[in-house]
Chains A and B, each alone.
Chain A
Amino acid sequence: MQHARTAKTGNGAAALDVAGVSHSYGPKRALNDVSFSIAPATFTALLGLNGAGKTTLFSLISHLYDTRQGSIRIFGHDVSRASGEALRRVGIVFQARTLDLDLSVYQNLSYHASLHGIGRHEARQRIAALIETVDMQGRQHDKARSLSGGQMRRIEIVRALLHRPSLLLLDEATVGLDIQSRAGILAAIRKLVETEGIGVLWATHLIDEVEDGDQVVVLRQGDLVAKGKVADVVKASGAASIRDAFSKLSRGEAAAQAEISP
């Protein structure tokens, strides 16, 4: 998967800075004083079991909900105060399928391009280039309904990259996919980090998607219980591996903190 150009990283700002963020649904606390940053061109895995607060955090970062406590900045732009500037730099793949099943692949992508102010001619070129990188050239005019789960995900990733974001958010992007599709999508995203300098926040509860060189942020019932490099989190939590560390952290048996660094 090749990006159209190397991502802009701003003026040395963090790709994403989450500072003291809390969020509640009525009396139910979904996030509690969560803080972490991710640097440009890094892959950060956001780990947590179901109900940990990952999707809520994504909704706040993407400004579906307003951040009432704390602040979220994307390349220095406050999501609440300058949401337009912030959202222009973000590509998002939501956990739920968000393709319009009645429209073709091209129509879905073209719609997204227009929502980012990209004209028809430019959109057509970008769609053709990106769709080739996911080996789906012949499917542009097929209805989204006719695609498999893995193909839909690939199209959603293409869509998230159409406006050349510098930060990519993926919420449980491999859920429901077979092993081969999962590996393919994960590899493609990791390649984007290396070749295009895109920062990635990859939310998952599947620990085998995390590699040794990754940064991790672990949520448990809305609390941030660990952050840092994999090796540091494993060490700080007194576990033998990241799988054990995640297991302990998810049960509330440990907490680990290490500075996140590129």
Chain B
Amino acid sequence: MSTPAMPEKVAAVTPVKSGAFGFRHYLICLKGVVVREGLRFLHQRERFISSLVRPLVWLFIFAAGFRQVLGVSIIPPYKTYVLYEVYITPGLCGMILLFSGMQSSLSMVYDREMGNMRILLVSPFPRWYLLVSKMLAGVSVSIAQVYAFLIVAWFWGVKAPPLGYLCVLPALFLSGMMLCALGMLLSSMIKQLENFAGIMNFVIFPGYFASPALYPLWRIQEASPLLYKLCLANPFTYAVELIRFAFYGQIDWVSLGVVAGCTLLFLGGAIIAYDPSRGLITRKQGTGGNG
């Protein structure tokens, strides 16, 4: 049964090309993906509330409780002693990006299980563009959450220099891209939603605690040289420092380099993983079909 019915005829035919997609079409696609992500976020109220409550609990309760225990000396970018609440705010911004990035990858696994992901993947736009659009959508939602948190923190008395709220935007964007790309890469490796809990335990918690989000690196170095080395190997460390310096209108070049490099690395990995010809996805039997 191997003889094709019309191969000769097909071979002789020159395919008719449609008009190529222009810049406008790419923008329409990007907008559609971002709007969908935003709508999903708004429709899932519990997700919105928990994304705001989580860092606020850390700020209102944890930071207040530990203010006297964990003193912060004068370290760059700070030019004077700062309250512990001020110190951990960049880390909490990073935490929002970290959870949101992982949440967005969780939604990709969910979409894949439910079949929604197929609608994205069968779009005629290049696969890399679709994934970057999905990432930009995730980052946009993450940044909105960070600013919502910063507004509440401002009323709580935790204030950065006014210009810092603008300067931090590129740092949030780049850090968000890195964490979304990491989430996307992880989502390609997870076949079932149930397996995601493991990733949460192995990525989110170690990533967050082995970083200067809650305590300065010099304190970690004093307490445990091994943990200090782990912190230095943790990309989230650099995301937090990039955000911290950006709040004061400064650029931590090492952090910028590491975050940019890791973004490219994770994004490249995710694009390869979702590429039908090379990726991990193609080696697994998809869900939703019997045939």
Contact = CB atoms under 8 A, between A and B. Distances in A.
Interface of A: 8, 10-14, 17-20, 25-26, 28, 30, 33-37, 39, 48, 50-59, 62-66, 68, 73, 75-77, 80, 82-90, 92, 94-100, 102-103, 107, 110-120, 159, 171-172, 203, 205, 219, 223-227, 255, 257, 259-261
Contact of A117 (B21, B39, B116, B286): B21
Contacts of B1: 33-35, 223-227, 255, 257
Please indicate which of the listed interface residues B24, B121, B287 has the most CB atoms of chain A within 10 Å of its own CB.
B121
B180 to A, nearest CB: 19
B161 interface: no
Contacts of A36: 4-5
Given A20-B2, A36-B5, A13 B36 contact: no
Nearest to A60: B276
B291 A64 contact: no
B224 interface: no
Interface stretch (B8-16, B63-71, B185-193): B8-16
B29 to A, nearest CB: 6
B124 to A, nearest CB: 4
Given A25-B283, A59-B289, A63-B122, A37 B115 contact: no
Contact of B291 (A52, A98, A260): A52
Interface in B222-239: none
Contacts of B17: 85
Contact of A64 (B4, B24, B122, B290): B122
25 contacts: A11-B15, A12-B9, A12-B13, A13-B13, A20-B4, A30-B285, A33-B1, A35-B5, A62-B122, A66-B278, A75-B16, A84-B126, A94-B289, A95-B288, A96-B287, A97-B114, A98-B116, A103-B43, A107-B36, A110-B32, A111-B36, A115-B33, A171-B289, A172-B291, A224-B1
Contact of A115 (B18, B120, B290): B120
A137 to B, nearest CB: 22
Given A80-B277, A119-B28, A11 B14 contact: yes
A88 B28 CA distance: 15
B290 A63 contact: no
B119 A98 contact: yes
A230 B35 CA distance: 47
B285 A64 contact: no
A85 B15 contact: yes
A36 B226 CA distance: 62
B119 A26 contact: no
Interface in B269-291: 275-278, 281-291
A12 B122 CA distance: 24
A89 B155 CA distance: 54
B6 interface: yes
A83 B14 contact: no
A-B pairs with lowest CB-CB distance, top 5: A114-B32, A55-B289, A96-B288, A54-B291, A117-B25
A35 B125 contact: no
Contact of B13 (A8, A11, A68, A83): A11
A200 to B, nearest CB: 17
B123 A98 contact: no
B124 A112 contact: no
Contacts of A59: 286, 289
A52 B291 CA distance: 5
Contacts of B201: none
Given A66-B277, A103-B39, A119-B28, A37 B18 contact: no
B118 A64 contact: yes
Nearest to B3: A35
B40 interface: yes
